Amino acid sequence: MKLIYRLNAFMKGLHISSFILSLMLVGTSLLGILVLAKLNYMYADYRIIKDASPDVYYLGNMSIPMPGTLVEEMGKELIDELQQFSGIGKVYTVKSVAPVMFNEQNISILLYSPDILDDFPALKRIGYDFQNDPSGFIVQSAVFDGYEEKSATISIYKTGVGWHDLTININNKVNPMISTICFSGGSTGTMDSSVLLTESNFIIGLDNESNRELLEKYSDSLRCYPNVVFRFKSSATETEKKEVFKFAEKKGNYTPLAEIAAADLNLIQAQIKSSIPLPVLLFLTSLIAYLSITALMVTKKGKDLSILYLCGASRNKCIATVMGSTALMVVIPSLINAAVLSFLWKLQKQGDERLWGFLFEENCIWLIVFSFVLTLFVVFSVAFASMKGKTPIEILRGVE
Amino acid sequence: MIELNNVTKKYKVGENDFYALNSLSFKVEKGEFVSICGASGSGKTTLLNIIGTIDECTEGTYLFDGLDVSSMNDRKRAKLRNEHIGFVLQDFALINNQTVLYNVMLPALLGKTKYKAIKSNALKALQSVGIADQAQKKANQLSGGQRQRVAIARALINEPDLILADEPTGQLDSETGKQIMETFKKLNNEGKTVIIVTHDKTVAEYGNRLVMISDGKIVSDI
Ligand SMILES: Nc1ncnc2c1ncn2[C@@H]1O[C@H](COP(=O)(O)OP(=O)(O)O)[C@@H](O)[C@H]1O
Ligand SMILES: [Mg+2]
């Protein structure tokens, strides 16, 4: 306490500038965190696509769904047709089923082919895991904000009966990962993997026996949208592939995932190019500002320091006083940033929709640590360098 | 209490050595009031700074209460200075934009005493020099005489055995200077050892021992 009192007194006259400086560091470092979180998000998006097997193709939304389409039958015809091609290795579907309600919100159910997780290993990494309970569901944080139970009651419409309650098990809660940033292709029919992989307002289950049986009961009121993904055999020749593409073009629009991944990467690179310079520039500016205020402190407060020395402080204590007071200007902003980050982190965990497009990861903490250490290092070395040459006695004599 | 043996302070001025103090030996007993007198540039301040441990001699030994100061490191000397020596300088050496109270508290803030105790000690010290009512004013709002009293109060807060004053009346008119010197006299009567540096004969007369210094050497000691 006494130390803080003393440091505070020492900084007298520099309070406003150090306050502004601290704000600058807070702002700069927060901007850096946001940029990083945005890149994290884009990168996570990209990884999902990139980690897919190279020969996986997405074939858009294949048919206009009609009420009453059997869950089992959905996309069946297309799958059968596709499977007749000699180059095709695997075909799987992602079906979206609506309308479903949870907690007075409209949601849909996505049913994944069970083997899809093998081709999209990134999904598992971000929490799409059905191993413990194949008939359980994965829910979106955006919808299930603050919901901590292991099961949930959803409502499905049943013709003639009305809304019907149904209890499902929850495997895991995840954040929506795929944003429109990555897939805003623009032209009609451009693949929207957001539907394929995940979106908000979905609960996700496996397209297996028990889940199909469950939904079959409501088949007359549910609309089912089949999406088809296929993968070539590794031995597929170019001609075999071309045949499939020709067919696919007739059926709908398809885009090789590799192409999407490449486009994603371009987006990320463009984002890095456009968003990194500003925070770096600001950070350099604030470093220079820290540097000059430290130098200023040593010259402006030279007399105070020599008085401190006179009163019985050792040389090291005088240096420590300068370092301590400048460190305060670095420590406090860093603490503020850490607090803001942990707040955002908490919001993210709760699936706050305002954080769409951002992903706060460990590297955000490292960014704070990095800016903290670097600023402190600069400040300390300037303080040390500018005080090294001076002896208190000379300053005292100078003012005598 | 103080024993300097063959103390030399050498400065390098260009190519040449300059001796601010030249093999000077000097002793002060507890309770003395010593005036060190000499022309400007004779080495008075240098001597006082070495006694006050804010400067170091290049040769010779300095014993304070039997402890060898010349072999101490900076930290130990700082502690000795903080606990046993009070400094008063010609230009007051106060932190101008801080309150009188803070200035007086400063030496104690460097020690182990609790904040509350420091504050009440500081007020007591201010009372003893007669300016307790100025405690909340900024140091630069006071007159020269008041400022020098603040400096004295600061020198007293850690209850040192030794008070060092370098031309304490140099920036004061003669009447105020007299009052300040009376204060030192009073402190000496209370048992503190006082060493005062001055080039003013009337000021020097307050001491009960007069040391004349010239060219870094003691020329008379009565
Ligand atoms: N850092 C220094 N370098 C060179 N000479 C110095 C230095 N400090 C003091 N001196 C010289 O030492 C001599 C004694 O100085 P000082 O003790 O301040 O004298 P006084 O206080 O008696 O006027 C002076 O001639 C001064 O110029
Ligand atoms: Mg002098």
**Ligand number with the minimum distance to the CA of B40:** 1
With a CB cutoff of 8 Å and minimum separation 6, the contacts of B40 are B199
Residues on chain A bordering chain B, Cβ-to-Cβ distance under 8 angstroms:
1-2, 5-6, 9, 12-13, 303-304, 306-317, 392-393, 396-397, 399-400
**Mean pLDDT, rounded, of chain A:** 79
- A400/B166 touch (CB, cutoff 8 Å), yes or no: yes
CA distance B11 to B13: 6
> In the predicted model, what is the mean pLDDT of residues A145-171?
84
- Report the percentage of chain A scoring pLDDT > 90: 14
**Rounded distance between C-alpha atoms, residue B150 and residue B185, angstroms:** 17
Alpha-carbon distance of A344 to A250, in angstroms, equals 46
For residues B162 and B73, what is the distance between their CA atoms, to the nearest angstrom? 20
B115/A5 touch (CB, cutoff 8 Å), yes or no: yes
B82, B83, B114: which to substitute to probe chain A, counting the most A Cβ within 10 Å? B82
Return phi, psi of residue A224, to 5°: -120, 125
Interface pTM (ipTM) of the complex? 0.94
Q: Which helix (H) or strand (E) holds A215?
A: helix A209-216
The pLDDT confidence band at residue A184, using thresholds 50, 70 and 90, is very low
What tokens appear for A290 in the block? 């820290």
Q: Whose CA is closest to B54, among A235, A202, A391?
A: A391
Q: What is the pLDDT of residues B162-189, one digit of tens each?
A: 999 999 888 888 888 998 899 989 999 9
Residue A320's closest CA among A6, A22, A16, A15? Answer: A6
Which of A13, A317, A400 lies nearest to residue B89, judging by beta carbons? A400
Q: Which long-range contacts (CB under 8 A, 24 or more apart) does A194-200 make?
A: A195/A61, A195/A94, A195/A96, A195/A225, A195/A227, A196/A58, A196/A94, A196/A227, A196/A229, A197/A48, A197/A94, A197/A120, A197/A123, A198/A110, A198/A123, A198/A128, A198/A140, A198/A174, A199/A140, A200/A140, A200/A142, A200/A143, A200/A176, A200/A353
pLDDT for A159 beyond 70: yes
Gap between the Cα atoms of A207 and A210, Å rounded: 8
CB nearest A313 (choices: B95, B98, B110): B110
Q: Which residues of chain B have pLDDT under 50?
A: none
- E strand intervals along A103-176: 105-112, 137-140, 151-158, 162-174
What is the mean predicted confidence (pLDDT) over A371-395?
83
Would you call A18 helix, strand, or coil by DSSP?
A: helix
Lining ligand 1 with CB less than 6 A are B 11, 13, 18, 20, 38, 40-46
CA angle A159–A160–A161, rounded 5-degree value: 95
Name residues whose C-beta falls within 8 Å of residue A95's C-beta, 6 or more positions apart in sequence.
A71, A74, A75, A110, A111, A207, A224, A225, A226, A227
- For ligand 2, the distance from its centroid to the CA atom of residue B145, given in whole angstroms, is 19
Share of chain A above pLDDT 70, in %: 81
Q: Range of B145's domain?
A: 2-221
Give the pLDDT band (50/70/90) at residue A66.
low
B172 within 8 A of B144, measured Cβ to Cβ? yes
Express each pLDDT in A113-135 by its tens digit. Answer: 888 777 766 677 667 788 888 88
Half-sphere CA count of B206, side-chain side, radius 13 A: 27
Residue A108, strand partner residues: A202
Query: To which H or E segment does residue B38 belong?
Result: strand B33-38
The reported pLDDT for the residue numbered A56 is 66
Q: What does the pLDDT read at residue A11?
A: 83
pLDDT score, position A74: 59
CA distance A316 to chain B (A): 8
**Quick check: B110 and B83 in contact, CB under 8 A?**
no
Which residue type sits at B191? G
Which residue matches tokens 């670097």? A374
List pLDDT tens digits, range A242-285.
888 788 777 665 566 677 778 888 888 998 999 999 999 999 99
Rounded to an integer, the average pLDDT of A15-34 is 90
Q: How many CA atoms lie within 13 A of B115 on its CB side?
A: 7
Confidence of residue A323 (pLDDT cuts 50, 70, 90): confident
Query: Contact A157/A163 with Cβ under 8 angstroms?
Result: yes
Q: Residue A400's pLDDT is what?
A: 39
CATH code: domain of residue B143: 3.40.50.300
pLDDT digits (tens, 9 = 90+) for A80-104: 888 888 888 888 777 778 788 888 8
> To the nearest whole angstrom, how far is the Cα of A4 from the nearest Cα of chain B?
11
pLDDT over 50 (residue A181): no
Widest distance between CA atoms in chain B: 54
- Identify the residue among B54, B55, B79, B80 best suited for mutation to test binding to A, counting A beta carbons within 10 A and taking the highest: B54
Length of chain A: 400
Torsion of CA A360, A363, A369, A370, to 10 degrees: -130
Chain A positions touching B115 (Cβ under 8 A) are 1-2, 5
Q: Which residues of A259-279 are buried (b: 16+ CB within 10 A; e: fewer)?
A: ebbebbeebbeebeeebeeeb
DSSP β-bridge partners for residue A91:
A230
For B129-155, what is each residue's pLDDT tens digit? 888 899 899 999 998 889 999 999 999
Atom of ligand 1 minimally distant from the CA of B213:
22
Give me the number of domains chain B comprises.
1
- Look at the pTM and tell me if it is higher than 0.90: no
Q: Estimate the crossing angle of helix A238-251 against helix A76-83, to 10 degrees.
A: 160
pLDDT-based confidence at residue A106 (cuts at 50, 70, 90): confident
- Give how far the C-alpha of residue A199 lies from the chain's centroid of Cα atoms, to the nearest Å: 14
Q: Which residues have CB under 8 Å from A52's CB, separation 6+? A: A119, A120, A122, A257, A261
**pLDDT bucket at A189, cuts 50 / 70 / 90:** very low
* A218-237 per-position pLDDT tens digit: 877 777 776 777 778 888 88
